[in-house]
Amino acid sequence: MLRVLFAETLSECRLLSPNQQVLLAVSGGVDSMVMLDLFFYLAPKWNLRLAAVHANHQLRGVDSDQDEAFVKRACHERGIPCVTERLDVRAYSTAHRISIQLAARELRYQLLEQVRIETGSVAVATAHHADDNVETVLMNIVRGTGLRGLAGIPPRRDAGQIIRPLIRATRAEIESYATEEHIPFRMDQSNLDPHYARNEMRLQILPELQRRNPTDIAGALRRTAETVNEMLSILEPLVHEAVGRSVEFRGEDQAWISLDRLAKYDWLVQEHAFLRLFQQLRIDPTEERLEAVHTLIQRQTGRLMELSGPWVALRDRRYIVLMRRPSPPETVATLDQGAECTFDGASVRLSEPAPVPRSLRTPLTTAIIDADRVSGRLQVRYWHEGDWFVPFGMRHKKKLSDFFIDQKVPRHRKHHVPVITSGDDIVWVCGLRLDDRFKVTPETERTLTLTYQPPTTVRSSR
């Protein structure tokens, strides 16, 4: 019976104890509505305090709003306080240049952690179940994975205090319970779209594998995941020891890992030590990022790799440093005509308006622009994600990040390249290229000269 399996999972996997507060992530689908009902049934027996949260991703128009209203009503009927939030997934996806699916996931988990803290909950319960686990394991195998991928979805995820009390229940058991208990739920039509990788796995690939093979493939994959999770639980004490002996936290934004101390442990322990650190620092622990850190260990000192968002990994002699890079300020300085401004060891001088000089040939550290094409006062700032300009000599715009790649600007240096702006437009990428829209033409009557003096020493990424 599902109620028994649910309580056993909470107890045996040590997901919750009696007399605790728990936050339920409720989408309105059959899985989360069954979870809501199971917690509502168990709460008086365990003396649990319940709260719910619903993320409206605003991706399905009226359907998304109806999901939100449905969840609020279902929680109100049970006397469970419910927090709802509308997430601008599309804007976040565009701003961070990531897929809609990843943007929705990142925003959703940020919301879950925020509401968990606000409600004083010890954990956030999500409705992942055994079939989700099977799909995840198979997808990981197809992509190529290690032990972590074979383990699938664990009952608990420490980052964000996520628990999955339905992880031992199959989709069939959940749907049967919903039918027997007359639990209403909402259908998300996007779950039937095979263009999404997980839907294709669930709707097409797994059924075809099952048809071609008489064995219980789903059951075999579940057992594999359970076995690997048991292996990882045995590995856990060594990982805890390795992190304790090899890692020094310097504030919330830096973790220094001693390669000499970490080298005393087996490579598998090392990999899972980095995994633990990623989770603690809330860096999405993809296989690619773990592989990037492993590669960095083999590189020379000073090498840096981008990880997730503001997080980078730096090789500093016998250490790997995981650190959060501070965001550059919106504006470093405003330029006055005939004056020089200094910032971070560098300087920019702006001349007074002058006639067009006889020669426009200048060093890279100097740019001559059409004074009448400038709107308002010129400003200095650093590169931002999504910046673009029209490189001198070209007719079409180009992303500044692509331009940096063409110019072989190291990835960790691009955040320190100053640009001169006029309103929202980039006038000059200091020391590299003028924007074609501000060049001197035969129609130019007055010019301004910009002179850039780079720092005498390269600023540390730390």
| DSSP tag of 307 | -
Statement to judge: residues 206 and 264 lie in one domain: no
Asked if the structure places residue 69 within a domain, the reply is yes
Statement to judge: residues 66 and 207 lie in one domain: yes
Q: CA dihedral defined by 82, 88, 89, 95, rounded to 10 degrees?
A: -140
380-411 per-position pLDDT tens digit: 998 887 889 999 999 899 999 889 888 888 66
Asked if the structure places residue 48 within a domain, the reply is yes
Last residue of a domain, one of 324, 357, 390: 324
Asked if the structure places residue 140 within a domain, the reply is no
CATH number at residue 251: 3.30.465.60
- Rounded to whole angstroms, how far apart are CA atoms 222 and 135? 10
Buried b / exposed e over 391-401, threshold 16 CB at 10 Å, is bbeeeeeeebb
Asked if the structure places residue 431 within a domain, the reply is yes
Which of 28-32, 75-79, 105-109, 178-182 is predicted with the least confidence, judged by mean pLDDT? 105-109
SS3 23: strand
Statement to judge: residues 352 and 310 lie in one domain: no
Q: Which one-letter amino acid corresponds to residue 198?
A: R
pTM of the shown model = 0.60
- Rounded to whole angstroms, how far apart are CA atoms 14 and 394? 62
- Rounded to whole angstroms, how far apart are CA atoms 183 and 38? 11
pLDDT band at 144 (very low <50, low <70, confident <90, very high): low
Residues linked to residue 156 through DSSP beta bridges, in sequence order: 163
278 contacts 284 by C-beta, under 8 angstroms: yes
Asked if the structure places residue 155 within a domain, the reply is no
pLDDT band at 195 (very low <50, low <70, confident <90, very high): low
The count of other CB atoms within 10 Å of the CB of residue 120 is 11
Statement to judge: residues 246 and 342 lie in one domain: no
pLDDT band at 327 (very low <50, low <70, confident <90, very high): low
- Rounded to whole angstroms, how far apart are CA atoms 167 and 43? 19
Residues linked to residue 315 through DSSP beta bridges, in sequence order: 320
Buried b / exposed e over 424-449, threshold 16 CB at 10 Å, is ebbbbbbbbbbbebbbbeeebeebbb
Statement to judge: residues 255 and 305 lie in one domain: yes
Q: Which one-letter amino acid corresponds to residue 452?
A: Y
CA dist list (Å): 107 to 29, 31, 176: 19, 21, 32
- Rounded to whole angstroms, how far apart are CA atoms 447 and 118? 56
Statement to judge: residues 289 and 414 lie in one domain: no
Q: For position 329, what pLDDT does the model report?
A: 56
Question: Structural domain of residue 341, as residue ranges?
Answer: 333-453
114-126 per-position pLDDT tens digit: 999 999 999 999 9
Q: Judge residue 461's burial from the number of C-beta atoms within 10 Å of its C-beta, 0-12 exposed, 13-18 middle, 19 or more buried.
A: middle
Percent of the chain at pLDDT exceeding 70 = 92
130 contacts 222 by C-beta, under 8 angstroms: yes
Statement to judge: residues 313 and 432 lie in one domain: no
Q: Judge residue 174's burial from the number of C-beta atoms within 10 Å of its C-beta, 0-12 exposed, 13-18 middle, 19 or more buried.
A: buried
Q: For position 42, what pLDDT does the model report?
A: 97
Asked if the structure places residue 222 within a domain, the reply is no
CATH number at residue 176: 3.40.50.620
**Per-residue pLDDT for 99 more than 90?**
no
Asked if the structure places residue 268 within a domain, the reply is yes
Residues in CB range of 69: below 8 A, 6 or more apart: none
Statement to judge: residues 105 and 72 lie in one domain: yes
Statement to judge: residues 320 and 434 lie in one domain: no
CATH number at residue 425: 3.50.40.10
252 contacts 225 by C-beta, under 8 angstroms: no
φ, ψ dihedrals at 42, nearest 5°: -80, -25
Strands 21-25 and 123-125: parallel
Strands 304-306 and 254-258: unpaired
Give the gyration radius of the chain's Cα atoms: 28
**Per-residue pLDDT for 55 more than 70?**
yes
Question: How confident is the model over 324-345, as a mean pLDDT?
Answer: 79
- Rounded to whole angstroms, how far apart are CA atoms 379 and 332? 8
228 contacts 151 by C-beta, under 8 angstroms: yes
169 contacts 129 by C-beta, under 8 angstroms: yes
Asked if the structure places residue 95 within a domain, the reply is yes
pLDDT band at 461 (very low <50, low <70, confident <90, very high): very low
Statement to judge: residues 275 and 379 lie in one domain: no
Count of domains for the chain: 3
Statement to judge: residues 12 and 45 lie in one domain: yes
| Residue of 185, 188, 183 lying closest to 199 (CA atoms) | 188
Average pLDDT over the chain, rounded to an integer: 86
Statement to judge: residues 198 and 292 lie in one domain: no
Last residue of a domain, one of 270, 304, 324: 324
